[in-house]
Amino acid sequence: MFRKSCLALAVVLAISATAAAAQPSAEQLTAMLSGGVWENQNFISIERYETVAIPLTAEYAARRKVQIDNRAAGRQVFTPEARCIPAGMPRQMMAGGFEALVRKDGIGLLTTGRGLEMRNIWLDGRKPTPDDELFETFSGESIGRWEGEVLVVETHGLRRSNEFLYGVPGRTMTVSERFKFTAPGMIEVTTTVTDPAVFATPWVYVKNYKRNPARATTEQNYCVGALDRSVDINGVETFDLTPPPAPDPN
């Protein structure tokens, strides 16, 4: 009986040791984020985005409807893109994708799709900066930690001009993300956006990203789309589609 108990215990310890050995370290998991661009597999058009169910308060549901009606009527919607400023969190993670630059103190994420933007995810064990000492920024302060094989990132200190929806800014948004490798070259990011003034309950959505190892982040400009655009006194937006002049052969 004693011998059988010892044998069973040895088997359990061996299995536990094997599982522990198979568990990648936080450094290894972080390194797995680098190399190529993670492309958003769930990008949707503005038209479809406007139909997404979001648990808004009555006040912000009304604000959303105003902007949807403005866009449908061709009136100017003053988004960050229209004002030539970064979208910031959470919208900067909703478009084209991101490239991870791994450092000793964390990760720099170059996000694409709405102009090239930058955010830092600190992994050096620092504590969040108190709200009354934190300078608000477009990407906010993002502090991460590994919980097993899931990277948990908490972001606060966002500017009040940051939008959660096309043309509708939040008020005091905070963002929580869970990055999880679901297959080789695939990441699932579950995002929870909280703002008591905006959301009746926290807004949760999931995006999937696929690694493209052959792609590199390229230069982008917030204002290129505004170069041939004009808005009349009624707020109606028009575009000049006149082709540019041919280059001087000399």
Query: So what's the pLDDT on residue 235?
Result: 63
Flag whether 88 is in a domain. yes
- Which pLDDT tens digit goes with each residue over 224-249? 555 566 666 666 767 777 776 776 66
The string of DSSP letters for 116-183 reads: -EEEEEE-S-PPPPPGGGPPPBSS-EEEEEEETTEEEEEEE-B-TT-EEETTEE-SS-EEEEEEEEEE
Check residues 183 and 7 and name the one with the higher pLDDT: 183
Flag whether 3 is in a domain. no
- DSSP state for residue 242 in the 8-state scheme: P
Flag whether 65 is in a domain. yes
Q: Domain of 67?
A: 27-213
Q: Which contacts of 140-144 are long-range, i.e. CB under 8 A and separated by 24 or more positions?
A: 140/88, 140/89, 140/175, 142/89, 144/106, 144/107
What mean pLDDT comes out for the span 53-79? Answer: 90
Check residues 235 and 84 and name the one with the higher pLDDT: 84
Alpha-carbon torsion 158, 163, 168, 170, what sign?
negative
Flag whether 69 is in a domain. yes
CATH of the domain at 57: 2.40.128.20
Helix (H, G, I), strand (E, B) or coil at 34: strand
Flag whether 230 is in a domain. no
Q: How many independent structural domains does the chain possess?
A: 1
For residue 250, pLDDT over 70 is answered with: no
- Which pLDDT tens digit goes with each residue over 98-129? 999 999 999 999 998 777 899 999 999 999 99
Flag whether 227 is in a domain. no
Flag whether 232 is in a domain. no
In angstroms, the CA 206 to CA 190 distance is: 4
**Distance, CA of 4 to chain centre:** 53
In angstroms, the CA 41 to CA 83 distance is: 27
pLDDT band at residue 195 under the 50/70/90 scheme:
very high
At residue 192's C-alpha, the angle toward residues 142 and 194, to 5°, is 85
Flag whether 9 is in a domain. no
HSE-CB of 83 using CA atoms within 13 angstroms = 12
In angstroms, the CA 23 to CA 31 distance is: 14
**Number of C-beta neighbours around residue 108 at 10 A:** 15
- Among 44-53, 66-75, 171-180, 204-213, the minimum mean pLDDT is found in 44-53
The whole-model pTM stands at 0.80
What is the average pLDDT value for the chain, to the nearest integer? Answer: 84
In the beta sheet, which residues pair with residue 117? 111
